Structure 1
Amino acid sequence: MAPPRKRDSKNRGLPENLYPNGKYWQYRNPITGKKTSINKPLADAIRLAKAANAKLAPLMADDGRLLSLLTGEQAPTVTSVLDRFEEEWLTTRAYSPRTLEEIRFKLAKYRTDLGARMFGQLDVLEVAGYLDQFSNNAYTKHRGLWVQIFAFAVAKGLAERNCAELTLVKQEEEKKRQRHTKEGVEAILAFEGTPDWLRRAIRLALVSLQRREDIVQWEKAAVDLEKNTIRVSPGKTQNYDTPVHLEIVMGEALRSVVRECLASPVVCPFLIHYQPRARKREQLDAKRHWNAVTEGYLTKAFSKARDDSKAYDSIPKAERPTFHELRALGSWLYEQQDYPQEYIQALMGHADVKMTEHYQAGHGKTEVLYQRVGADLKL
């Protein structure tokens, strides 16, 4: 809590925390120290300052410690509410590992940005101001999570109303991504500024048809060079009634890029990895291994290589294809090489494909049954 300023003779008649500011006034939040200009006449400034003092009064007593003595209950901080939300609510949801990872990454950011604040300070104005730092689609996702956090807090008696629900609802921007071309991807791969690890990730995605999240989480342990197979359980399908598990028989192109991943001298349990120049604590906490590649970093690195290589300079930047669209190009290339549609759908792990058994229940133990498919696209 910021210490109060001593009142001098010229502002002794003003309410606490209100000070002259030129010909107008300024209110200093006694907890955060934040100063806010009040460009109104003296009578209005006094009225607003008194109202603000009354609202903050329960939180001004020694960061809530005196309040705890008086009521027998500590005023909750944002961190304490987020901790309870994660432990009591998040663990009961049937989210995929990837979704859980994204949510926990957001919660970690909220703790860093707002963790020491008293949760009761987060009114509609505070929440709206915090959300405004995010772009349109990110705003929508963060707002949705805050609505859930406040709903939990209200249900637990930690907040009186859902302030996040009262913030502005924005319409997500429609994505207008154009398709990759074979020539465009070849230009990115040939560009000298494209890192070797990114070249491997591009080729791996193009030939295997796996999603971005599965590419960065693909473990070396999934590879069996003797049997010439690689296994994957697409994360997006693990919430399906019948989760998808693939055992891919590697064609020449897939085997080649997998061998390159395994031969990399960088120590990491994942096929796609790199050696970062700097290792910041917040970055390490968000990763599964210090040399692992996160989904966000893969997207950012690909977009930079795409733009620096000028592969799609004729397309507006907002419409240029991302790493995700490699999947669509790969499936089209398979089709051009006369692979049957069932083969392509199986490799992509689509839920509507007629698959063989995905797992077999034994006596007291469930065994996963991997469907055997092939990946033999010629690059």
Structure 2
Amino acid sequence: MAPPRERTVKNRNLPANLYPNGKYWQYKNPITGKKISINKPMAEAIKLANAANAKLLPLLADDGSLLAMLTGDAAPKFSACLDRFESEWLPTRSYAASTLKEIKFKLARYREDLGDLMMGQLDVLTIAEYLDGFENNAYTKHRGLLVQVFAFAVAKGLCERNSAELTLVKKEAEKKRQRHTVEGLNKILGYVGTPVWLKRAIRLGLLSLQRREDIVVWSKSAVDLDQNTIKVSPGKTQNYEKPVHLEIVMGQALREVVMECMKSPVVCPYLVHYSPKARKRSQLDAKLHWNSVTADYLTKSFAQARDDSQAYADIPTGERPTFHEIRALGAWLYEQQGFDQEYIQGLMGHADVKMTEHYQAGHGEEAVVYMKVKADLKV
């Protein structure tokens, strides 16, 4: 920050940061350096400058310790706001574990990038310039979270306005991700470099129509071989007013891959697992079990096998289908084999929430009711 302008005989008796500007006055914000014209008589200009100084000058105290010593209150920093947002606001939301992890990762980044700034320094310009460092959908997602953070800050009296909400709203770019084909997925499954555990995960996704996040945490205890069923509570639906719980009657193909997972010699309570070559502490902390697979690792491993197998070499890298699109291919294959939409929707956890509510009507709030569906795709 540039040093204050040197006082002259003319402005020696003026409050700090107030200077003559022709026949009127000019106030220089001591934090942002922004100059603001005050076209008022001298007495009013002095009154405004004193009021502004009373509000802004405490924010300049070194690390807030002097201010705290004088008033008992430290200058509010953004890091403290983020801490309160994470401890007070986040627990009130019913976010899925993966979403919560992503939010906390973003908050950690904000602490690193902006945490040392005082709340009074986080004006619209500062937030806008920070957001401009992100491209496409990342801009939209970061802006959305910052709007929530500042809304919390305003409600708690940490700042007076939501600076993030006043930044430019951008429309998310449309996803160009293309669909899987039977030929493409078979090429990945047949590729010698595709790990065995990943082939099982692909088949589980294709046959059961479950999401990546649910496949990696699918417990062996959910399998009942005597009844030929496997249970799952889709994580995304747990935010519904009435969550979805499925009991899937396994067709031959699904039973085969489930049996392969159950008979694997690798020790793990989850169907999808592998034995890593190295176990770093940071990796272990992110996993449910030392041999389990995280959703992110599944995504990256699939992308690696997809590209190494040359399954979609003719498609630009950014448009090649991911593991997520396997679910769509599976739904399409069920349709091609003559299964009706109600059957497919049921297996996918009911895209229509009203159908879910119909099945669960009349049960107590704490009751867990499994809807029986079938997964009998022929492959």
Instruction: Give TM class, smaller chain.
Output: 0.7 to 0.9
CA distance 1:199–1:336, change in 2 (3 Å): same
- The letter for the 2-side match of 1:163 is S
Question: What is the identity, as a one-letter code, of the residue corresponding to 2:84?
Answer: R
Matched with 1:61 is 61
- Letter aligned with residue 371 of structure 1: M
Residue 232 of structure 2 is matched in structure 1 by 232
Report the counterpart of residue 294 of structure 2 in structure 1.
294
SS of match in other structure, 2:247: strand
Paired residues of 1:230 and 1:248 also in contact (CA < 8 A): yes
Tell me which residue corresponds to 2:3.
15
8 Å CA contact 2:154, 2:160 repeated in 1 = yes
C-alpha distance in structure 2 between counterparts of 1:121 and 1:212, whole Å: 41
Following superposition, the deviation at residue 359 of structure 1 comes to 7.1
| Distance 1:340-1:51 versus aligned 2 partners, 3 A rule | closer
The 3 A distance-change label for structure 1 pair 64 and 155 is same
Q: Structure 1 residue 215 and structure 2 residue 203: aligned?
A: no
Aligned pairs (5 A) from 1:207-286: 207-276=207-276, 286=286
Residue 70 of structure 1: CA displacement?
A: 1.7
**Structure 1 residues 316 and 150, CA gap change in structure 2 (3 angstroms):** same
Whole-angstrom distance in 1 between the partners of 2:348 and 2:175: 22
Aligned to 1:28: none
Distance verdict in 2 for CA 1:367–1:65, change over 3 Å: same
Residues 68-120 of structure 1, C-alpha deviation per residue, up to 9 Å, x if partnerless?
11221123333321222123322333444543343233324434544455444
Deviation (angstroms), 1:56: 8.3
Counterpart residue number, 2:81: 81
- Alpha-carbon distance change, 60 to 49 in structure 1, aligned in 2, over 3 angstroms: closer
The answer to whether the Cα contact below 8 Å between 2:124 and 2:166 also exists between their aligned partners in 1 is: yes
Aligned match of 2:103: 103
**In structure 2, how many angstroms separate the alpha carbons of the residues matched to 1:139 and 1:282?**
28
1:275–1:154: structure 2 CA closer, same or farther, 3 Å change rule?
A: farther
Q: 1:369 to 1:268 in 2, by over 3 A?
A: same
Evaluate the alpha carbon distance shift between residue 289 and residue 50 of structure 1 in structure 2; reply closer, same or farther with a 3 A threshold: same
Distance 2:210 2:285 in 1: 25
Q: CA deviation at 1:266?
A: 4.3
Residue in 1 aligned with 2:122?
122
Counterpart residue number, 2:359? 357
CA apart distance, 1:281? 5.9
3-state DSSP of counterpart to 1:377: coil
Larger Rg: 2
* SS at 2:378 equivalent: coil
Give the paired residue count.
335
Query: Cα offset for 1:174?
Result: 0.7
Deviations 1:268-312 (A, max 9, x none): 443223455565666555544454433333223222222221111
Aligned with 2:3: secondary structure? coil
Report SS of the residue matched to 1:326. Answer: helix
SS in 2 for 1:230: strand
d(CA) in 2 for partners of 1:109 and 1:273?
31
Residue of structure 2 in register with 1:196 after alignment: 196
Q: Deviations over 1:31-77 (max 9, x none)?
A: xxxxxxxxxxxxxxxx8988649998544534111111122112333
CA contact under 8 A between 2:232 and 2:247: conserved in structure 1?
yes
Is there any run of 5+ residues in structure 1 with no aligned partner, and where? 5-13, 17-46
**d(CA) in 1 for partners of 2:373, 2:193:** 34
Amino acid at match of 1:333: L
Q: For residue 309 of structure 1, what is the amino acid of its counterpart?
A: S
Contact 2:147 2:162 in 1 (8 A): yes
Contact 2:32 2:121 in 1 (8 A): no
* Aligned position for 2:24: none
Q: Deviations over 1:325-360 (max 9, x none)?
A: 111111121222233332222111124374673376
SS state at 1:238 partner? helix
Per the alignment, residue 183 of structure 2 pairs with 183
Whole-angstrom CA distance in 2 between matches of 1:56 and 1:276 = 55
| Residue 164 of structure 1: how far off its partner (Å) | 1.6
Q: Deviations over 1:122-177 (max 9, x none)?
A: 33344334434433112211110001101111121112322222333222111122
CA RMSD of aligned residues (A): 3.2
Amino acid at match of 2:70: L
In structure 2, give the amino acid aligned to 1:15.
Answer: P
TM-superposed CA distance for 1:193, in Å, is: 2.6
Shift of the 145–287 alpha-carbon distance from structure 1 to 2, 3 Å rule, reads: farther
Give, in whole Å, the separation in 2 of the partners of 1:133 and 1:308: 32
Q: CA 1:175 to 1:199, structure 2 compared with 1: closer, same or farther past 3 Å?
A: same
Q: Does structure 2 retain, via aligned residues, the 8 Å contact 1:98–1:235?
A: no
Q: Is the 8 A contact 1:85 1:152 kept in 2?
A: yes
- The residue type paired with residue 72 of structure 1 is G
Amino acid at match of 2:104: R
Does the C-alpha gap of structure 1 residues 367 and 115 become closer, same or farther in structure 2, counting only changes over 3 Å? same
Write the distance in 2 (CA, Å) between the matches of 1:73 and 1:262. Answer: 59
Q: Hey, what's the Cα distance between the residues in 1 that align with 2:170 and 2:299? A: 24
* The 10-residue stretch of structure 1 (134-143 or 180-189) with the greater mean CA deviation from structure 2: 134-143
TM-score normalised to structure 2 length: 0.76
| Letter paired with 2:308 | D
Contact 1:140 1:172 in 2 (8 A): yes
Q: 1:166 to 1:347 in 2, by over 3 A?
A: same
| More moved, 191-200 vs 267-276 | 267-276
